[in-house]
Amino acid sequence: MREETSIHKYDDIINLPHPTSKNHPRMPLYDRAAQFCPFAALTGYDAAIKETARLTDEKKELDEDTISHLNERLNIIRENIGSNQPITITYFVPDREKTGGTYVSYSGVVKRIDEYERTIIMTDKRIIPIEQISDIESEFFNRIRREE
């Protein structure tokens, strides 16, 4: 007899509509789902760990021969601006968050060299600081060498 009453215990309310409050609107599903999101006790901890694990390169100090070589190439570029010769510049980009940075290679055409700001301005308006350049490559330099 006891089993029979427990089986039909909620028959009187099972088909009733869900009660809604006149004073409190229903919570949106998005907010309701947020109740079940995991709790991050240490806000920003994951970002700090990722930042610490991120590797940076040290800037290489260039020797006198390399600096002289780069200056020669910059002079060749300066003399031939307007000939639309593509070049590839490898330069150092300092990291904003920690010491060091990364070396980036960029290919394009030089629009002008700003002597005052000590920058190279490319046709797509990218600005490259001359002090950060570690290498300049182009087929144009090879052609000039063959002509000499």
Of the residues 32, 53, 74, the one at which a domain ends? 53
H or E stretch at 36? none
**pLDDT tens-digit readout, 34-79:** 777 777 677 788 888 887 888 888 888 999 999 999 999 999 899 8
Q: How far apart are CA 125 and CA 127, in angstroms?
A: 6
Residues 135 and 70 grouped into a single domain: yes
SS3 label, residue 69: helix
Residues 82 and 136 grouped into a single domain: yes
Number of domains in the chain: 2
Q: Cα 51 to the chain's mean position, in Å? A: 13
Flag whether 59 is in a domain.
Answer: no
Full domain range(s) for residue 43? 2-53
* Cut 0.85: pTM above it: no
